[in-house]
Amino acid sequence: MNSLQIIITEDGSTTLFKEELNESYHSKFGAVNESRHVFIDAGFNRLQPTVAMNILEIGFGTGLNALLTILECTNRKIRTKYHALEPFPLSNSVYQKLNYLHFIKDVNAERLFFSIHEADWDSCVIINEYFTLKKQLIKLQEAILRDEFYNLIYYDAFSPEVQPELWTTDCFDKIYKAMVQNGVLVTYSAKGAVRRNLQAVGFKVERLPGPKGKREMIRSIKR
């Protein structure tokens, strides 16, 4: 973890910069802003769930996407099973220094943020009555995913430039098979190669306005 630096993004929220990859976990224009725009607004809210849903996150990272999601689920009373794959988890000395709680105005945010980070790995953990979390210390390529199970995918791996192995047709085909019909995948990346690989395995791909500092993002639907 010595290669991780905590940096302040433009909206004041923190992210991490990974030196060996020369890449940050979130946009320098705003970590909280990016997560809300890409994963909550374009993903979670696009589905408009009413009772229950299953979510898979590729890259648990700082836990910000999971925190924003559990707050949505709890406030809207939507029972959610959240499955996250993260082969390189953060130590408590790192995630405790992240300042998301200053920007997320919810009385339950602090308790829930630490609950999701402190939850046991490789186990299904009930965080509250609306959110069950399973974090796995495993790469996507090695994970066994249940067929036709997930309603929503948060594809939040490092960029195709530094982690090209996670943006291939093989990975997207694996994800496609694990999704229900009309399931949604959202990602911050809008690269042409990513779009073509998603289309090659059967996704209908939409290019949407990106968060601040990024012209476009991708939302894909299983046809």
pLDDT, one tens digit per residue, over 157-199 is 999 999 999 999 999 999 999 999 999 999 999 999 999 999 9
Contacts 24+ apart (CB under 8 A), 27-32: 27/188, 27/211, 27/212, 27/213, 27/214, 28/213, 29/211, 29/212, 29/213, 29/214, 30/211, 30/212, 30/213, 31/62, 31/64, 31/100, 32/64, 32/68, 32/100, 32/103, 32/104
Q: Both tokens of residue 172?
A: 């997207």
- Of the pLDDT bands very low, low, confident and very high (cuts 50, 70, 90), residue 1 is very low
Within 10 angstroms of residue 6's Cβ, the number of other Cβ atoms is 12
Other beta carbons within 10 Å of 122: 9
> Is residue 26 packed enough to be buried (19+ CB in 10 Å), middle (13-18) or exposed (0-12)?
buried
Average pLDDT, the chain: 96
**Structural domains present in the chain:** 30-222 (3.40.50.150)
Of the listed ranges 2-16, 25-39, 175-189, the one predicted with least confidence: 2-16
Q: Residue 56: beta bridge partners? A: 83, 153
Confidence (pLDDT) at 70 = 98
| pTM score over 0.85 | yes
Q: How far apart are CA 192 and CA 99, in angstroms?
A: 34
58-79 residue pLDDT tens: 999 999 999 999 999 999 999 9
**Position 3 confidence tier, pLDDT thresholds 50, 70, 90:** confident
Structure tokens at 136: 């796995």
Q: What is the mean pLDDT of residues 116-133?
A: 98
